[in-house]
Amino acid sequence: MLIAIVEDELKLSAALESYLSKDDFDTTLYNEGNAALEGLINAPPDLVLLDLMLPGLDGLSICKEFRKHSTVPVIMLTARVEEIDRLLGLEIGADDYICKPYSPREVVARVKAVLRRTSVSSEDSGNQRLVLDESVARVLVDGNVCILTAVELRLLKAMMERPGQIFNRSQLMRRIYTDDRIVSERTIDSHIKKLRQKLSAVCATDEFIHSVYGIGYKYEVPV
Ligand code: CA
């Protein structure tokens, strides 16, 4: 597992590197924002530890831009607790937040927890009820073929990568459109509605996409 550490304070990044390597993680280090974004996109790690305040591009902009290219988990490192509330409100797509000062041990524990949480879908792909076949834009539901549009495919993929996680409409919007176009939230609702209709046409008994009142949607396979 490769962990990218984006941190300009060398003392901190060295401590993280040493603790992560004790747990058999490989690490790659960036201490400047623009180089970090370029590196993360060109050589994606398995997880990113991302400091907020950086020379060059800041952590916030890096996370937003990186999210257009990748669903690799991102843990933000930030100096103040109050900052976390603000970041959550901005919906930058981070998977977790750690407040500075932190103990490197705590960071390693959080890295493992986030990796466990986010790798569930790929580990279980052998016995999943829904199997995405991106090359031909279709999903198999219990082996039954369901043909999707490109947008429906991206929507479903984004949610399937994080089972149980609630996505709001703007998060989903960012996943399905690679440009910065503005579409109304109703557009997402109508894509979701069609996606659900298609899924229920091949499996009438179970719902895989669930509405969460006032927030958005989540993917969850009924047990
Ligand atoms: Ca910093």
Q: Give the end of a domain, one of 73, 103, 124.
A: 124
User: Cβ(5)–Cβ(39) under 8 Å?
Assistant: no
Same domain, yes or no, for 174 and 213?
Answer: yes
Model pLDDT, residue 180: 63
Residue 96 pLDDT > 80: yes
| The total number of structural domains that make up the chain | 2
Residue 46: domain span? 2-124
| pLDDT tens column, 55-68 | 999 999 999 899 88
Query: Higher pLDDT residue, 84 or 187?
Result: 187
Same domain, yes or no, for 170 and 115?
Answer: no
Model pLDDT, residue 181: 66
What distance in angstroms lies between residue 92's CA and the mean position of ligand 1's atoms?
A: 18
- Average of per-residue pLDDT values in the chain: 87
| pLDDT tens column, 161-212 | 888 888 988 888 887 776 666 678 888 999 999 999 999 998 888 899 999 8
Q: Give the end of a domain, one of 124, 150, 180.
A: 124
Same domain, yes or no, for 41 and 85?
Answer: yes
* pTM assigned to the model: 0.58
The residue assigned the tokens 């690490």 is 27
Model pLDDT, residue 127: 60
Which residues lie closer than 8 Å to 148 by C-beta, 6 or more apart? 137, 138, 139, 156, 195, 198
What distance in angstroms lies between residue 10's CA and the mean position of ligand 1's atoms?
A: 10
Same domain, yes or no, for 154 and 191?
Answer: yes
Residues less than 5 Å from ion ligand 1, measured at CB: 8, 51, 53
